[in-house]
Amino acid sequence: MKTFLAYLFAALFEIAGCFAFWAWLRLDRSPLWVLPGLLSLAAFAAVLARAEPAFAGRAYAAYDGVYIAASLFWLWAVERQAPDRWDLAGAGVCLLGAAIIALAPRAA
């Protein structure tokens, strides 16, 4: 559960940081949007680096499933665009893959 929460917070920080750049470059917002974006991306990296898996590659792979689902939540909550059934199906497949990676029994 602790790892899932780390992944959830990391995803929100990463999405917010990337959205700040999107807002600046694609939505004609002020370049000042980059400053909180950079802080958010730094927070993302710090949180993800504290996730429990022993290997970075495995942590990143499992995290990506959570990131995809969180991105669709962002799409709905912030951008006011409802995910369609294909978005939700894809996110479900990704979360299943992330769960397999994160929860598989491994030799010590």
DSSP H or E run through 26: helix 2-26
- What is the reported pTM? 0.84
Q: What amino acid is encoded at 105 in this protein? A: P
Higher local confidence (pLDDT), 13 or 108: 13
pLDDT for res 51? 83
Residue in 46, 88, 82, 48 with CA at minimum distance from that of residue 64: 48
pLDDT class of 4 with cuts at 50, 70, 90: confident
Ranges of H-type helices in the chain = 2-26, 34-49, 56-77, 85-103
Between CA 102 and CA 77 the distance in angstroms is 27
Between CA 90 and CA 5 the distance in angstroms is 21
What residues contact residue 6 under an 8 Å CB cut-off, 6+ apart? 47, 48, 50, 51, 52
pLDDT for res 7? 92
**Res 3 pLDDT > 90:** no
Between CA 100 and CA 20 the distance in angstroms is 32
Higher local confidence (pLDDT), 58 or 73: 73
CB 26 within 8 A of CB 79: no
pLDDT class of 12 with cuts at 50, 70, 90: very high
pLDDT tens profile 25-70:
999 999 999 999 999 999 999 999 988 877 888 888 889 999 999 9
